[in-house]
Amino acid sequence: MALIKSISGIRGTIGGRAGEGLTPLDIVKFVSAYAMFIRKTAAATSNTIVVGRDARVSGEMVKDIVCGTLLGAGFDVLDIGLATTPTTELAVIMSKAAGGIIITASHNPRHWNALKLLNGEGEFLSDKEGKEVIALAEKEDFAYAEVDRLGTITKDDSFDLKHVEAVVKLPLVNVKAIKARHFRVAADTINSVGAVILPRLFEALGAEYTIINNVPDGNFAHNPEPLEQNLAGIMELVRGGGYDMGIVVDPDVDRLAFIDERGRMIGEEYTLVGAADFVLSKTPGNAVSNLSSSRALRDITLRHGGNYAASAVGEVNVVATMKETSAVIGGEGNGGVIYPECHYGRDALVGIALFLSALAERGISVSEFRAALPDYFIAKNKVELRPETDIDKILARVKELYTTERITDIDGVKIDFADSWVHLRKSNTEPIIRVYSEAHTQDEAARLGKQIMDVIGSMTK
């Protein structure tokens, strides 16, 4: 059992004892704390909280508890049903709600679920705000509404269509050119909400599509993280011929990866890089990604005359840095594209529409698009944490070993070498240490990662 309280929300495994997983009691506690926070901080113009969920097996149970708790706290609930993370974010904005709760554990396996907490701008709570919610939850000093002040619930499943409409209306999304290309795409929607919304997007863009793992029942057909080792099925389908590309999303559709026309994964790091190359070619400006993302975005931004900045890992950190630098695009190397022209949230639908626009306008294939981007290779490793692991000691030791290199320690430790880097940090979403390394060859990236893994191993025996 596990329960993780972080900048990415309240995330845990389903079942077990209260306080050791995401149990009904834990859900009530944290939603009550969130309700108190919103009541204290939100503008008085709205009494509504939006609730959306992915298709996880536990989703209905969690949603019922979330909605009931919000009603008991005196809030009105706008239940948008099965919905992606970006759809829920847009629903908060469109409905002018006081906040929102997304019920999803993103890329985590099926026995996990989570509460992602939004403010009235449809954006994730800041680290400071999240800590305030956690502190309120730990006090457990809650007061609920009297019978005549209980909230009401409204169900509205129209936001999928509104989301698609918002995406296809973006100025850089060239619907005419996309339709003229008659794209044929294969998509893996991992038995979640992508199976509901992606067909609507493809139809709006005039693309012929085949979708696998298309039953939104939360019984994931494979590990839901959109990494190459998990995607043999979709890669084989595209490799069979007749498709212009493969498209892969995670269970809540805020991460996106592409497979080229030959069935080869182009790497989720290049989702943001490719989208940024297109956006920056049309709208010169700045770009942002997190410390664990590819240097390719920096190179592309400089190529187009903009400035690049790196943030700590976590969507809220990327968004904050984007606002500080007036970035026109940003995101994370996990396949997350944030395009403020639509909204400040990772959005796979936006990424798909921008990517198809780039291919259509330039008259090129996915492999040709990838070949025009800077070449980097990344190795992503992780180490399971033990309760006794002293992370601070590990980070300090790594810094000692590389004092002659450029070190950034706003989020774990990142060491920048002339032609490569390695980043070591504790995950926001799992009880692990992530070790990411990047270089101009896969062998060099792997060597750097192993070097750091050996340091960790020597300290955790």
Residue with tokens 């190179």: 299
If you write DSSP's letter for every residue of 9-21 in order, what string do you get?
EEEEESSSSTTSS
d(CA 18, CA 443): 45
For residue 180, give every residue at least 6 positions away whose Cβ sits within 8 Å of its Cβ, in sequence order, or none: 360
Do 94 and 156 contact (CB within 8 A), yes or no? Answer: no
Closest to 356 (Cα-Cα) out of 175, 94, 233, 195? 175
Cα 59 from chain centroid (whole Å):
18
d(CA 13, CA 51): 20
Point out the catalytic residue in the list 32, 58, 106, 294.
106
Determine the 3-state secondary structure of 391 from DSSP.
Answer: helix
Per-residue CA distances from 25 to 5, 66, 169, 442 (Å): 15, 11, 43, 46
Contacts 24+ apart (CB under 8 A), 23-28: 24/61, 24/65, 27/62, 27/65, 27/66, 27/69, 27/115, 28/65, 28/69
Do 289 and 283 contact (CB within 8 A), yes or no? Answer: no
How many Cα atoms are found within 13 Å in the side-chain-facing hemisphere of 417? 13
Q: Is 106 a catalytic residue?
A: yes
Q: DSSP state, 149?
A: G
Left, alpha or beta for 433 (phi > 0: left; psi -120 to 50: alpha)?
A: beta
Q: Which positions are catalytic?
A: 106
